[in-house]
Amino acid sequence: MRVVLQRVSEASVTIDSNKVANIGNGFLVLLGIENEDSQEDIDWLCKKIVGMRVFSDANGLMNENITSFNGDIIVVSQFTLHASIKKGNRPSFIKAAKPDVAIPLYKAFIQKLEIELGRPVQTGEFGADMKVALVNDGPVTISMDSKHRE
């Protein structure tokens, strides 16, 4: 399971001209799911996301996490995070989980993140053509892969 975590001052998701998610300060989480992913991957990533100390404290140092900062989160499914570009110029998405595997894991990820955060998170819509807008704050962008916990 892979995520790209972006600290934002604002972010939104629009589907068919309808804004379905909108936050101010917080995280935009792009989530890619593989066939081999499990609840263990979800648990590890959600704990990391909520514990990530990348928000400024009173001294301007990145010491606050999303809960102490009282920020919000949007989660957007993005199978392209598992693109393979080993051969040619057309990406292969063979490692990305198909919807029958990915949707239950996507829903479990959101549920676990809400438990860790202590409040609801906003989302895009799995499989939809979404327009994601954001203002990356910092910029702070962190990629995490539950299979490579370095």
Is residue 67 part of the annotated active site? The answer reads no
Is residue 123 part of the annotated active site? The answer reads no
d(CA 111, CA 108): 5
Helix (H, G, I), strand (E, B) or coil at 43: helix
d(CA 112, CA 102): 15
Sequence-separated (6 or more) residues with CB below 8 Å from residue 128: 15
Q: Both tokens of residue 106?
A: 């996507």
d(CA 78, CA 29): 10
Is residue 6 part of the annotated active site? The answer reads no
Closest CA to 124 of 50, 41, 30: 30
Q: Both tokens of residue 29?
A: 């989480």
d(CA 6, CA 143): 9
Choice among 27, 55, 78, 123 that is catalytic: 78
Choice among 79, 109, 122, 123 that is catalytic: 79
Active site residues: 78-80
